[in-house]
């Protein structure tokens, strides 16, 4: 199939009516290109990317990544893995699950490092996550930028707020406080130590 096709050919390839395709375009779900003569053309490499993947792309893996912050969230980690496995299986994808147990502010987790190495090496074609905060707490957009540069499709199952956001964030903040407390304790700064203890207590009280 040609990469740029007419509205009728695009509708046929997607299995929908021309009216539906026009409705999707009006809603911003897809964007048509325009020829020099003003005719609409649809980029099938975006609408049906699987039709244009090279043999090398087809061999790249699908990775599902799950993470929780602490050991007492192991049940949540298992639920994440089950959700990811079920979704990938329903899509008919051959996949592997990478799971991490550690703070979203820790960029040195074994699973995350393994994932990033595989992305950079061009071994992964698709990354599936339940929510962007499962990757890292901050700067997830940087990881997504790397994925885009390496032509990795990112599938985030939950576009809204992560259901464990507050709990995870509190744990991550406490981890930062613990690290700073250890450093400031060595400096014998009573004022700084008292301030950190107050912040830590406030975070713990908010969790209660």
Tokens 């956001």, residue located? 165
The residue from 12, 45, 54, 69 that is catalytic is: 69
Angle between helices 140-149 and 110-120 (to 10 degrees): 30
* Contact call for residues 155 and 128 (beta carbons, < 8 A): yes
In angstroms, the CA 96 to CA 85 distance is 9
- How many whole angstroms separate alpha carbon 58 and alpha carbon 23? 31
Determine the longest span between alpha carbons in the chain, in angstroms: 75
Q: Outline where DSSP puts E strands in the chain.
A: 4-5, 33-34, 40-43, 61-68, 95-101, 124-129, 153-156
Q: Residue 198 and residue 67: Cα distance in Å, rounded?
A: 29
> Catalytic site residue 69?
yes
Question: Going by DSSP bridges, is the β-strand pair 124-129/40-43 parallel, antiparallel, or unpaired?
Answer: unpaired
Catalytic machinery residues: 69
């Amino acid at each position: 199939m040609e990469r740029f096709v007419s509205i009728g050919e695009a509708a046929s390839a997607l299995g929908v009516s021309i009216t539906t395709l026009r409705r999707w375009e009006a809603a911003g779900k897809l964007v048509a290109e325009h020829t020099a003569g003003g005719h609409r053309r649809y980029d099938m490499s975006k609408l049906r990317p699987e039709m244009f993947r090279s043999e090398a792309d087809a061999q790249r893996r699908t990775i599902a990544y799950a993470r929780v912050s602490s050991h007492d969230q192991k049940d949540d980690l298992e639920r994440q893995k089950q959700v990811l496995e079920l979704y990938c299986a329903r899509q008919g994808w051959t996949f592997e699950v990478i799971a991490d147990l550690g703070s979203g502010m820790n960029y040195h987790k074994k699973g995350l490092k393994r994932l990033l190495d595989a992305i950079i090496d061009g071994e992964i074609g698709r990354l599936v996550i339940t929510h962007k905060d499962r990757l890292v707490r901050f700067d997830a957009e940087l990881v997504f930028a790397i994925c885009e540069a390496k032509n990795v499709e990112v599938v985030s199952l939950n576009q809204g707020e992560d259901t464990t956001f507050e709990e995870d964030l509190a744990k991550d903040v406490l981890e930062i406080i613990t690290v700073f407390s250890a450093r400031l304790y060595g400096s014998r700064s009573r004022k700084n130590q008292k301030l950190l203890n107050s912040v830590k207590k406030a975070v713990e009280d908010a969790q209660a």
